[in-house]
A and B are shown apart, each in its own frame.
Chain A
Amino acid sequence: GENVEQHPSTLSVQEGDSAVIKCTYSDSASNYFPWYKQELGKGPQLIIDIRSNVGEKKDQRIAVTLNKTAKHFSLHITETQPEDSAVYFCAATPSNSNSGYALNFGKGTSLLVTP
């Protein structure tokens, strides 16, 4: 089955700096890679996603890059702000899912942005 590894587990940056979170996946058939942000007391919320036919996608201060050959994808947050502090999860689609809608998640990265 799909295995998604996420690093680092914790990340602390100063406000204004960039933050990068990396994920690797094992299933070469995976074709959808979302990133979710989870704030305290809330459920995860999609912040950006990328499909396998694209190498990079950007939305304001966040961007995601995908390297299908190496089977890894990364989240980049620039000009970080304290409100970016949260737990971030990467995910990938497993090819062995019966439903076709299941996602395998990484363990999460706890990002702290200090003023």
Chain B
Amino acid sequence: ETGVTQTPRHLVMGMTNKKSLKCEQHLGHNAMYWYKQSAKKPLELMFVYSLEERVENNSVPSRFSPECPNSSHLFLHLHTLQPEDSALYLCASSQEGQNYNEQFFGPGTRLTVL
């Protein structure tokens, strides 16, 4: 195990539903990330939180809303998604303060939007 957990592991939702993905890291890190992984495409960085503040938002549609209540937890709130949002959503964490440190990934949430 990497020390990063994600729940749920699988999620099926309709386009009108509202759901949330949860990520928790047990590594004492102070930076957390959301990535989207689609087939045949590179991992796409969605959001970065450093010291609980959002420091990067890669032009992600507003139907994805991140929340970082503390340095150990990260949420991704989903509403009115589209079928093309179906993908594996990966959470990662790292320790800020040094020159590029390893990012530790969780197992991901497999999201299917019907």
| Interface size class of chain A, counting residues whose CB lies under 8 Å from the partner chain | 20 to 34
A101 close to B43 (CB less than 8 A)? no
Cα distance, A32 to B101, chains bound together (Å): 9
Q: Which residue of A lies closest to B54 (CB)?
A: A99
Interface class of chain A by DSSP: loop
- Pick from B33, B102, B107, B108: contact of A46, CB below 8 A: B102
B103 close to A4 (CB less than 8 A)? no
Of B14-22, B70-78, B79-87, B92-100, the one with at least 4 CB within 8 A of chain A: B92-100
Interface residues of B in 1-36 (CB under 8 A from A): 2, 4, 31, 33
Interface residues of B in 35-70 (CB under 8 A from A): 40-43, 45, 48, 50, 55-56, 58
- Pick from B41, B50, B105: contact of A43, CB below 8 A: B105
Chain B contact residues, CB within 8 Å of chain A: 2, 4, 31, 33, 40-43, 45, 48, 50, 55-56, 58, 90, 92, 94, 96, 99-108
